[in-house]
Structure 1
Amino acid sequence: MKGTDSFNFKIEPWLTTDERPEYTTNIFDLLSRDMKLESEDHSATFSILRAPDWINVVPLTDNDEIILVEQYRYGIEMPTLELPGGMVDPGEDPLETSKRELLEETGFAGSEWFDLGKVSSNPAVLTNWTHTFLVKGCTKIQEQQLDGNERIIVHCIPLERFIDQIRSGEVHHSLVVAGMMKYILSEHYTF
């Protein structure tokens, strides 16, 4: 509801006493983070993944179709149907990243952009945020510009069909579901 008071968190925060890198990859830095609960004089070490922020784009055509990307996901070893998205490059604004990723992955661009907010990607272990942008008036203006490991098939389907695929569990990528929820709860959703 609009206008409701913010939640008042009461849990004691853990304090970081030390942090050291354990391993670095092309996407994540694995950190060991020593933390302490002062009230209990209790300490523990946690594994944390430091990652750049990510973006998701909800791209809509004037015909109420959504532009989606089908890709193979190595973690779950199966294909997924997703919103276009990617990593925010160092020094890049999330909106710039969204425009770049949409164009590179799909060849589409849009005319009206709206910031739908951000979600913590997985606050249990990840340090980053995922920003979601809505873009309306999308049309194809060029061919895809994929990097060496990307294999993406672009699909344009009715928006309501995609929402049904989320409802049924056929679309299960958590950040895609969260991005769509941000859209559905926004003032821009009109169904």
Structure 2
Amino acid sequence: MSVSNEPSEILQRKLFYKGRKFDYEVIKLRLPNGVEGDWECIRHPGGALAVPVTPEGKFVLVKQYRFTVKGRLLEFPAGTVEPDEDPAETIKREIEEETGYRAHQWQSLGKFILAPGYSDEYIYAFLARDLEKLAQPPQQDEDEDIEVVLMSGEELEAAIVAGEPIDGKSIASFYMARALLNSEG
């Protein structure tokens, strides 16, 4: 299923903030149904996410401090797609930096819109297998506070059901990967 392209008429556009990772703008629109109004939007270049699975069937996640929620979230490794970069290249870099693993087998799980109520960000999800633990520990970015966590599928699903702090893109990608892995037998 694809997004229907029913264009709105842009009446006015104002850029309020141009940031390092995203921009924030307010757009005065006339919707296809004729309604006019102001809509705020975060313009984001997209993100890439890996669902890494060890040969033993463990999922590799990171527990990362997120200032917006004032705590640590369990997440799959992910990163912002740089200008003119293929999301597959983004995630190959990010998985090594965040987890210390290199994947030798990659498979696209697809893409999805993260938060269409206020952002145009897409997440490009990949299944990462045939993992190799790197000899050197990962060099994390200065603004990252990350701990690597290995979990079985059952442990991760129990954490999701129990309401543990896990971000939505990781939950969605886990179930996408699980469906693919289950279809393979």
Indicate whether the TM-score tops 0.5. Answer: yes
Query: Structure 2 CA distance, aligned partners of 1:181 and 1:16?
Result: 37
Residue 18 in structure 1 maps to residue 12 in structure 2:
yes
Contact 2:55 2:129 in 1 (8 A): yes
Question: In structure 2, do the counterparts of structure 1 residues 38 and 177 end up closer, same or farther at CA, with 3 Å as the change threshold?
Answer: closer
Counterpart-to-counterpart distance in 1, 2:146 and 2:30: 44
Separation (CA, whole Å) in 2 of partners of 1:166 and 1:159: 11
* Matching residue of 2:72: 79
Which residue of 84, 87, 95 maps to 1:91? 84
Q: Secondary structure at the match of 2:69?
A: coil
**1:169 correspondence with 2:168:** no
Q: CA deviation at 1:72?
A: 0.8
Q: 1:178 aligns with which of 142, 158, 172?
A: 172
Letter aligned with residue 130 of structure 1? I
* Compared CA separation, residues 163 and 17, structure 1 to 2 (3 A): same
What displacement does 1:99 show?
A: 0.6
TM-score normalised according to structure 2 size? 0.90
In the alignment, what sits opposite 1:60?
Answer: 53
* Aligned mates of 2:126, 2:3 — CA distance in 1: 28
TM-score, normalised relative to structure 1: 0.87
CA distance in 2, matches of 1:143, 1:162: 24
Letter in 2 for 1:135: A
Spell out the pairing of 1:102-121 with structure 2 (5 A cutoff): 102-121=95-114
Residues in 1 aligned to 2:97 and 2:70: alpha-carbon distance in whole angstroms: 23
Q: Does 1:36 align with 2:36?
A: no
Residues 43-54 of structure 1: matches in 2 within 5 Å?
A: 43-54=36-47
Contact 2:57 2:152 in 1 (8 A): yes
Whether 1:159 and 2:140 are equivalent positions in the alignment is no
Give how far 1:104 is off: 0.6
Find the residue that maps to 2:170 and give its secondary structure. helix
> 5+ residue gaps in structure 1?
1-5
Which residue number corresponds to residue 133 of structure 2? 140
Shift of 1:184: 2.3
Deviation digits for residues 58-98 of structure 1 (CA, Å, limit 9, x no counterpart): 00110001111011111111111110111011111001111
> RMSD value over aligned CA atoms?
2.1
Three-state SS of the structure 2 residue aligned to 1:185 is: helix
Distance 1:8 1:140 in 2: 39
Letter in 1 for 2:118: V
